[in-house]
Structure 1
Amino acid sequence: MSIAPYLKEIGRGKDGARALSRAQAADLMARLLDGQLSDLEKGGFALAMRIKGETPEELAGFMDAVQPRTLALTAPPTPVVLPSYNGSRKLPNLTPLLALLLAREGVAVLVHGFEEDPTRVTSAQVFEALGLPAVTEAAAAQARWADGQPVFMPLQRLHPSLAALLQLRAVLGLRNPGHTLAKLLPALPGSLRVVNHTHPEYAVSLAAFLTLTGADALLLRGTEGEPVADARRLPALKAFVRGQAEETLSVPAQAGSLAQLPSLPGEASAPATADYIRQVLAGALPVPAPIATQVSTLLALRRALGPA
């Protein structure tokens, strides 16, 4: 069956397009993920949604199709999920530091994303430099968690069809809803998700999605698109419990001028970042205050969620 009726709704341009219902969005995404669309239809969908933008209801419908097709994983209670898709260009990628600090507190952490990016340093590369290579099997993930270590799993293994949707960017040169869905993916049952955005308008739409879907999450403006607080200045940390914003668990953005900058590696390469992380974990260097605050906020949020 053609998706032309859906494209007719979403493909009328920024001002003329109409949003799909949640059920329609779920049906369209299910067909896409199951390989029922032609390359032309996939391109039409990606371009139309890029121009129109996704509504929270559409994102919820897309996720209704995405979630059941995720690799089944079993983690200890209330794991934390960190979507790592941007990597770093200028600053060190400290998503692995966040993951390791949480793991040190007894939290099961899943980091997912792409292993390589030709222009950026990925979390997978930093984990590899730390002696924690990517995990590709469910049993290996459970063993890593049992050993008190975080898990990095490539999206190609966690959700192959979603990974294929993201890879359309290499052909079209534009992002599509798959990029947002990957950052919202509830990859583990009962998980606490860290959701990050790069532009202020996404803070509004992602907050609406988290409310609509009853999510447990921490929303923040990420560092170069990564789900870790900027080591130099704390962004606002907005906590959600079952979809409701919890001001008592949220933290406002740091105001005023910085008294001093943290000691960060002079380059953003994976080996340099890994060496810095080792020094922080060993206590030779302090944990950057914004990241320490993010860790304590996530721990408080987990406690508020209660038993899994």
Structure 2
Amino acid sequence: MRLYMPKIGELTLTSADEFDFRLLIKALGKGEKGSRTLTFAEASLLLEGFAKGKATRAQMASAMMLMRVRGETTEEVAGMVAGLRHTLDEGWRSLAVDIDWPVYAGKREQLPWLLLVAKLLASQGVRVMLHGDSLALPHRRHVESCLDTLNIACCTSPQSANAALLSDNIVYVRAGDLAPVLDECRQLHQELGLRSLIQTAARCINPANASISLRSYFHPGLDSLHQSICEILFAKGEYHRGSVAIFKGLQGETECNPRVSTTITVVNGQAEHTEVSSFSIPTILDGFSGAKVGQAELPNEILALLWREKQPYLANELTALMSRTMIEQALSSITATLAAVLLLLSRKSAMTGPNKTAVITAEQAVDLSLQCWENRLSPIDSPLEQWRNKEWLCAV
């Protein structure tokens, strides 16, 4: 007769400096019948303990593998997000940011067209903070490698990030500069050859507490996971107020795919209360094909050319590098992604602006997106500026 040990009950937690982290590993790994998942508080403490050097590399690696094999729970992922947020320098929280834009996935071949959207928004006074880790999936094309071509600053401290936001309204920060423990976790991932819940948690930290935070996913089911994570973090008071927009990104990156309709789930939270709604950005490119070949060979300088060329289909320097279908796909990605953000800004204005305004429709957002891109080099004539003056986007 086989005897089973009872599960380890919920533990009495102390500070990370005093806690015995072997207890958490034992709770996760005590046999088929004796093991259990971690609570929100336990997962948060484990991450904090590893960040402080109180939980060892072996303990963190063991926990990551045990949770991965069994399947991470929403409470565990949300707890890791909270733990990451607790390790952040207070200076990151003090930054004035409108849009939190995590860019961790990278893309298989395409350039990150989303950078042009972020630059356009910044040129109109919308403060954007991008953050990612280009070393996590080094075989993909990441935002970080393209920053220089658009003169977007990559900053390593809250002070330098604040200076960039004050001068340019946009900044990129490496994940390891936000929370050094993320570099340590990435090294464990690569040593073990496994993904873990940390890679999901990093996307959710919203370091500056921006009122709009974007979340993309690729695999089915992750939309529900991200929604549940948000609801837990609002309920626990880790997120204070704002909107989290969750959608299936192009190749997993935080950019809309113009070849399909993109449904965006929005979790609005305030004072530990959440409401969930959704909207869809329509398909921009119907029946489109023929742009994939050659994408991987496109140089980063394409981004700067697209930004400055008023007539891209007639620009010799650009057409020498990109086919017409490639240009069309890039511009359509910009249109779809910008439309999504404009709609989020409109919804925010309707909820929090001094004068309540009607939320624009998805079709209006697409039209406004096209107009904004057309006038990107003439800020005075920008439709976005005109709408802001009319308080359509007065909350920005």
Instruction: Provide TM-score, normalisation by structure 1.
Output: 0.86
The question of 1:225 aligning with 2:252 is answered yes
Higher RCO by CA contacts (8 Å cutoff, separation 6 or greater)? 1
Identify the residue that residue 244 of structure 1 maps to in structure 2: 274
Q: Report deviation, 1:253.
A: 6.2
Distance 1:160 1:7, change over 3 A: same
Matches within 5 A, 1:134-213: 134-213=154-233
Matches within 5 A, 1:1-308: 1-11=19-29, 17-71=35-89, 72-73=91-92, 74-76=94-96, 79-116=98-135, 118-214=138-234, 216-242=243-269, 244-247=274-277, 250-252=278-280, 254=282, 258-260=286-288, 266-268=294-296, 271-272=299-300, 274-276=301-303, 278-280=305-307, 282-285=309-312, 286=331, 288=333, 289-304=335-350, 306=352
Partners of 2:261 and 2:304 in 1: CA distance? 19
Q: Report deviation, 1:105.
A: 3.3
Q: Report deviation, 1:151.
A: 0.5
Of 178-187 and 114-123, more deviation after overlay is shown by: 114-123
Structure 2 letter corresponding to 1:100: K
Residue correspondences, number: 304
RMSD: 3.0
Contact 1:87/1:225 (8 A) holds in 2: yes
Q: Report deviation, 1:183.
A: 0.7
Structure 1: segments with no counterpart, 5+ residues: none
Distance 1:141 1:302, change over 3 A: farther
Q: Does the residue aligned with 1:147 lie in a helix, a strand or coil?
A: helix
Q: Does the residue aligned with 1:54 lie in a helix, a strand or coil?
A: coil
Structure 1 letter corresponding to 2:339: T
Structure 2 letter corresponding to 1:81: D
Partners of 1:276 and 1:95 in 2: CA distance? 10
Partners of 1:219 and 1:63 in 2: CA distance? 16
Q: Report deviation, 1:246.
A: 4.1
Distance 1:234 1:152, change over 3 A: farther
Residue identity over aligned pairs, in percent, reads: 22
Contact 1:99/1:109 (8 A) holds in 2: yes
Distance 1:146 1:255, change over 3 A: closer
Q: Does the residue aligned with 2:299 lie in a helix, a strand or coil?
A: helix
Partners of 1:251 and 1:279 in 2: CA distance? 29
Partners of 1:300 and 1:13 in 2: CA distance? 52
Distance 1:114 1:287, change over 3 A: same
Partners of 1:143 and 1:228 in 2: CA distance? 26
Structure 2 letter corresponding to 1:302: K
Q: Does the residue aligned with 1:236 lie in a helix, a strand or coil?
A: strand
Q: Does the residue aligned with 2:252 lie in a helix, a strand or coil?
A: coil
Q: Does the residue aligned with 2:263 lie in a helix, a strand or coil?
A: coil
Distance 1:257 1:109, change over 3 A: closer
Structure 1 letter corresponding to 2:109: K
Contact 1:265/1:276 (8 A) holds in 2: no
Q: Report deviation, 1:9.
A: 2.8
Partners of 1:105 and 1:32 in 2: CA distance? 41
Partners of 1:281 and 1:233 in 2: CA distance? 27
Q: Does the residue aligned with 2:221 lie in a helix, a strand or coil?
A: helix
Structure 2 letter corresponding to 1:251: F
Structure 1 letter corresponding to 2:228: A
Contact 1:80/1:109 (8 A) holds in 2: yes
Q: Report deviation, 1:180.
A: 1.0
Q: Report deviation, 1:24.
A: 1.8
Structure 1 letter corresponding to 2:27: E
Q: Report deviation, 1:18.
A: 2.2
Distance 1:86 1:190, change over 3 A: closer
Partners of 1:296 and 1:282 in 2: CA distance? 23
Q: Report deviation, 1:52.
A: 2.2
